[in-house]
Structure formats: structure tokens, C-alpha cells
Amino acid sequence: MTRVLIVDDQILFAESLKTVLEATGQEYKVCGLAENGREAVDAVEELKPDLVLMDVRMPVMDGVAATRIIKAKAPHQKILMLTTFEDDEYVREALRYGVSGYLLKSIPTAELLASLRAAMTGALQLDPRVISALVGQGESAASADAPPRWFDELTRKEKQVLGLMVGGFHNDEIAERVCMAPQTVRNYISRIYDKLGTTDRVAAVRLARMSGLF
């Protein structure tokens, strides 16, 4: 069971998210709720959750500042940022501190749960709209060899599959995590190769890592 700490100053949202996670049965247990970054820092130290779902903009201390403090004390702590904003400045700063992902609160429930599972395996999770904002600002840290707009050309599911590829998962493992048949995963990977302009897994993974977004 994955123990989750939810950090959000909107109590109704936090309680709703708690209900969604615990409705999965034995997969998630919400071990605590915090209303700002300062409370989050204390709660992580006390509760030692497996995963923190962190709002970005909060009173007292924002989520990015709290993440900086938490990661300095516990570098391996998994933190997934949830926000209503596609603010590339916040995204870049959070990524520098090593967050496990940056998702918008409008994400559908099924995709949120899939992202949480992938984040726990070490795959970076970024909402496509967040990726588009980063790429649009030219701040993706991509190399000069990266084909233009290839992130935009990937579908949400293709980004998820690519993230798992970068995480070192084989096709059968990816199929299990994204709830697809192995042949379907192979079809997705073939389309990813086409969109990235690569011909094999090694090249695709290298390009994804060079982008700084996986």
C-alpha cells in the first residue's frame, strides 16, 4: 500500500482527492493532510509518506519552497506537484529540485491514478499542457538535435509509455503498468519512434533524456 500525504489549502479538493485515492481499495492510504508548505515539511518528517501530492500556490509557504526543504532533507522523497496553473517558472523550479512530476488538477481520475503508479516506479510525470508550455518557452534543456515540437506531437499515452521506457521498463512491464496488451504497447512504441525521428529504443530513450523532461 502506498502511503500518501496530500498538501493543499483547498480543503474540499484535498478531501475529495483523499476519497478518490482510498476508493482504490488497498492501493493507497492517505496518511495525512496539510494546508500549506510549512505544515508539509513537518508532516513529511513525522509521517514519512511514500508519496507527497503537493499543491503549488499556498499561503504561509508555497509548494515549491516546501519541496526544496523536503528534498534537501530527504532526497529520495517522491513529490508530485498538482496545480491549476501552467506556470513555466514554477515548473522549471520544481523540476530542478527533483519532483516526480507536475500535473494539472483538471486531469481525469483514471489518468491521475496511472500517473501516480508511474511516478512510484521512478518515471517523471508531466501533463502535456505543462510540457507544451516549457517547450514553447524554449526552456526544455533539449539539445540542438531534438526535432522541433516532437513533444507536442506525442499523445498523452505515448508520453506515459516513453516515460516508462526511460525508466528502464521492458514492454511487458509497461503493458502491465498502463493496462495494455503487449502488442498494443509495441504499436505505441513504433509510433513514438516515428514522431521522435528515431529507429530504435536506445536512441528514443537518449533523446527523451536529453530533453530534460523525462
Residue 12 has a pLDDT of 94
Backbone angles phi, psi at 137, to 5 degrees: -85, -5
Region of poorest pLDDT, from 78-82, 102-106, 152-156, 208-212: 208-212
pLDDT surpasses 70 at 142: no
Higher per-residue confidence, 86 vs 40: 40
Assess contact for 40 and 52: CB atoms under 8 A. yes
Residue 47 has pLDDT above 90, yes or no: yes
4, β-bridge pairs: 30, 51
pLDDT score, position 122: 81
Does domain 141-214 fall under CATH 1.10.10.10? My reply is: yes
Confidence of residue 118 (pLDDT cuts 50, 70, 90): confident
**CATH number for the domain running over 1-139:** 3.40.50.2300
Q: Which of 17-21, 83-87, 156-160 has the highest mean pLDDT?
A: 17-21
Where do the CATH 1.10.10.10 domains begin and end in the chain?
Answer: 141-214
Q: Degrees (nearest 5) of the Cα angle 135, 139, 140?
A: 60
Order of strands across the sheet with 78-83?
28-34, 2-7, 51-55, 78-83, 101-104, 125-126
Give me the pLDDT at residue 85, please.
72
What pLDDT sits at residue 147?
Answer: 38
Nearest to 50 by CA among 68, 24, 25, 32: 32
Question: In angstroms, rounded to a whole number, what is the distance separating the alpha carbons of residues 83 and 38?
Answer: 18
Q: What is the DSSP letter of 175?
A: H
What integer best gives the mean pLDDT of the chain?
Answer: 85
| Identity at 37, one-letter amino acid code | G
pLDDT of residue 88: 57
- What pLDDT is recorded for position 124? 76
- Comparison of pLDDT for 143 and 168, the residue scoring more: 168
* pLDDT tens track for 63-72: 999 999 999 9
In terms of average pLDDT, the best of 5-9, 105-109, 141-145, 156-160 is 5-9
Domain with CATH 3.40.50.2300 in the chain: 1-139
Give 208 or 210, the one with higher predicted confidence. Answer: 208
Q: What is the pLDDT of residues 174-198, one digit of tens each?
A: 998 888 899 999 999 999 998 887 8
Q: What is the DSSP string of the chain?
A: -EEEEEE-S-HHHHHHHHHHHHTTSSSEEEEEEESSHHHHHHHHHHH--SEEEEESS-SSS-HHHHHHHHHHH-TT-EEEEEES---HHHHHHHHHTT-SEEEETTS-HHHHHHHHHHHHTT--EE-HHHHHHHHHTT-S---TTSPTTHHHHS-HHHHHHHHHHHTT--HHHHHHHHT--HHHHHHHHHHHHHHHT-SSHHHHHHHHHHTT--
